Copies of this chain bind each other. A is one copy, B any other.
Amino acid sequence: MGRPKAFDRKEAVRTAMNEIWLNGYEASSVKALSETLGITRSSFYNSFGSRENLFREVLQTYSEQSPDRALGKIGKGNEVLRAVCQVFKTVCEVRAGDPDHRGCLAVNSLTELVGKDEGLSCVLTEAVRASLDRFERLLLLAEENGELIIENRQATALALQNLLFGINVTSKVVHDSESLWQSVKLSLKGLGIYKLSFDL
């Protein structure tokens, strides 16, 4: 009942995601976003309530398609470490392969917004915590599998997070996938995560 929307909401969120990914959050005004979406500001406010609200949806959508989402799908049955390394390699490839060198939307948003926007800082911080927890969980899983022994699991998880952030920044400037991966492989090797037998 009522008049139906003249646009597809999910697609709109994806479009908005790309706009914000490319230009940044603050640079993406309601006016600009509305124009890109081909709707009026009126419809924008009606559909999304506010720009911040839309951005929360965008982050959700992003997390479902980011190259590190695969970390969440590694289960007990797998060779955990190999799978983790494969994800890191994929991140290198995806970031280097992006013709616009946009890096990671989450990292970009983190550096842009944390400390400036009250509400969004919160969401982004929580996302990082979740990622850290995920790394810790994976390390624990690998330990249980007898794949490695670790002295300080929390510190190792943080080191992996540093590495992931690092690639995502570096890839804005270093566009060669192989160089990126070689350096990441060294770091993973050093942490005991990458094994020569993986041959990635």
Residues of A bordering B, CB below 8 Å: 22-24, 26-27, 100-103, 107-108, 110-112, 114-116, 124-125, 128-129, 152, 154-159, 161-170, 172-174, 179-180, 182-187, 189-192
Tell me which of B129, B158, B162, B172 contacts A111 (CB under 8 A): B172
Q: What chain B residues lie within 8 Å of A26 (beta carbons)?
A: 24, 26-27
How many copies of this chain? Answer: 2
Determine whether the beta carbon of B179 is less than 8 Å from that of A155.
yes
Determine whether the beta carbon of A162 is less than 8 Å from that of B182.
no
How many Å lie between the Cα of A162 and that of B112 in the bound state? 19
Tell me which of B27, B108, B165 contacts A165 (CB under 8 A): B165
Q: What chain B residues lie within 8 Å of A100 (beta carbons)?
A: 115
